[in-house]
Amino acid sequence: MGKLGLDLERGLYLGIDFGTTNSVVSIYNYKDGAAQTIPLDGSNIFPTAVQFETDPEDEAKLSRIFGVQAKEAAVIYPLSTVLSIKRHLGQEEKIPVIVDEKEYLFAPEQIAGEILGYLKARADQYAQDEMNIEGEFSGCVITVPANSTDRQKSMTKQAAILAGFDEDSVYLRLEPAAAAITYAVNETKDKTVLVYDFGGGTFDACILKIENQDDEPNISIVSTFGDNDLGGNDIDKIIIDMILEEFKKLTDGEIDLYDEDADDGVSKRQKKVAQVRLQQVANQAKERLSQSKSTKIVLAPFIQEPKIVNINMEISLEDFENFKRLNQQADSTEIFEKFKDKSLNDLVDATLACIDKCLEVGNLSESDIDEIFLVGGSSSIPLVNQKISTKFGKEPFKSKISPALSISQGAAYYCNMIMMPTVKGPTVQERTIHPLGLEIAGRRFMEIVSSGVDIPREGLVVEASELLTTNHDNVPSMAIVVYENTAHGGDAPALVSQSGMKRLAGTSLRGIPQAPKGKEKVKVIFTVSQDNMLKVTARSTSVDGLVTELSVDDLYS
């Protein structure tokens, strides 16, 4: 059989659901006219994990192991294995990796780029060997949480570039919108749909309207609301806490597995191993409790110094739903305060609170929602289905596609729109997520781009309603400082120093005429792409050609 040469001007694109715990990749298969998930290393679901080790052929270099092998290796080599890298995207702190007692520091986007590069290489090979497609994936559509910040999106995009995708061919799209496409391709009626996206690292609620136009679904985002610090990993920590309480009983509370400097007879390495084992068995127990009323936890031995400790316990579904978290584990103090004394019931209720806010922003009630589409691994927890059904008076939509695969396959439909823009298919009307603006005199926030504004295909261009003016006499430059308002509910922050305000980037317009205070005026224009990425232009109104531009995604170095 000959190779299928796709003569596509824009190249071949890969749809990627880059998840906190697992990742999935899909392609739009033109032979079948549908999205298809690509199995990587024999499975549709690929653990988002990488382990580093000394290259056997060159001790000065590091080699990498990815996916299932890396996840399993974390139990033996916890210091050289990186899990849940997605939760670090958007942060400045380097990731420490220790290989053969030598420490290496990586930026979060470097680690993410390593994993995405492996996904790309395996997908390239699969497409060539199994689908008879010539060439490789030059572009991609990566999905991001609806509530992700500009900085998180920019680091995700940088990771894709580091992975080998062409810089101009990396697109970001919202996870719930991608999932909605998977639902909408088989929908023939106009509907208002709630996408409940409970992934490993984040929760997002997104309400969309699906309207059929000429037998093709048109999807518009009505509202979104989420929590970037609430995900399946936090549910796992409840089970970890249950195991830790049993461990404390067996050791009379004399050993703190998360205090690596404590003089309690347990080495740092053994504590790291114990932490990884707890994380893995808790995740497995959560999955089993989605199918049964109880599960067994056996860790024998769990630790071997200063004495052997075995754990053998039963966890019931009822206990899992109602146990309130007690231990900080490896969380920061701020995050722990958020989850302290919270049970699974409380966490699911927190997702319902996000839904309430999403309904409020969209001026909708529960009765306006025609269908609920569950996405993400943690959405399969029985309590989720139960509480959603009670809240809306209807069962969530039963998809033939696994919730774990729907986002990636929706991303593949996005790929089709990019590769073949003249071909009919589902379309999505993108909207801005967070308000964007500038810092002005008195550290006040001047909003320029509101949330929930439609973004045209060519991008959204918004000119500030007010011209900026100089605050002092005879200054030669003007600072342009961009902020994102990520606060939810209540009154909008008036000052950039208030909670919820995030500084995105800053630059200066230099060379302005030195004049009395307030005389020199500057026009500012915000341009938002369909990736929800921002470019800011500041232009003098008195000097032709005096202009400065900044692309927010290029300034995080």
Rg (CA), the chain: 25
Q: What is the pLDDT of residue 492?
A: 67
Prior bond to 145 cis, omega within 30?
no
What is the Cα–Cα distance from 21 to 109, expressed in whole angstroms?
A: 16
Contact 255, 264 (CB under 8 A): yes
- The residue type of 314 is E
Parse the chain into domains and list their residue ranges.
1-185+229-339+398-429, 436-554
Q: Is the CB of residue 200 less than 8 Å from the CB of residue 19?
A: yes
Q: Half-sphere exposure of 328 toward its Cβ, with a 13 Å CA cutoff?
A: 11
* Element containing residue 495 per DSSP (H, E): none
Per-residue pLDDT of the chain (557 residues; tens, 9 = 90+): 344 444 455 568 999 999 999 999 999 887 788 889 999 998 999 999 999 999 888 888 899 999 999 998 888 899 999 999 998 998 889 999 999 989 999 999 999 999 999 999 999 999 889 888 878 899 999 999 877 877 888 899 999 999 999 998 999 988 888 888 888 887 778 899 999 999 888 898 989 888 887 777 788 888 888 888 899 999 999 999 999 999 999 999 999 999 988 888 999 889 999 999 999 999 999 999 989 999 999 999 999 888 899 999 999 999 999 999 999 999 999 999 999 999 999 999 999 999 998 898 888 999 999 999 998 888 889 999 999 999 999 999 877 777 788 899 999 988 888 777 666 666 777 788 788 999 998 899 999 998 888 888 888 999 998 898 888 898 888 889 999 887 755 566 788 888 778 888 888 888 888 889 888 899 999 998 877 778 899 999 988 888 888 766 443 32
Spatial separation of the C-alpha atoms in residues 343 and 513, rounded to whole Å: 61
The DSSP symbol for 40 reads B
Q: CA–CA separation, 196 vs 183, rounded Å? A: 13
Model pLDDT, residue 493? 72
CA nearest 179: which of 151, 216, 226, 146? 146
Pick the CATH number of 436-554 from 2.60.34.10, 3.90.1150.200, 3.40.1370.10, 3.40.640.10: 2.60.34.10
- Residue 220's H or E segment, with its range, is strand 216-227
Check residue 542 and give its pLDDT. 87
**HEC string for 249-301:** HHCCCCCCCCCCCCCCCCCHHHHHHHHHHHHHHHHHHHHHHCCCCEEEEEEEE
CB contact burial 421-454 (16+ within 10 A = b; e otherwise): eeeebbbbbbbbbbbbbbbbeeeebbbbbeeeee
Q: What is the CATH number of domain 1-185+229-339+398-429?
A: 3.30.420.40
What six digits make up the tokens of 141?
């559509």
Q: What is the pTM of this model?
A: 0.80
Whose tokens are 């900085």? That residue is: 151
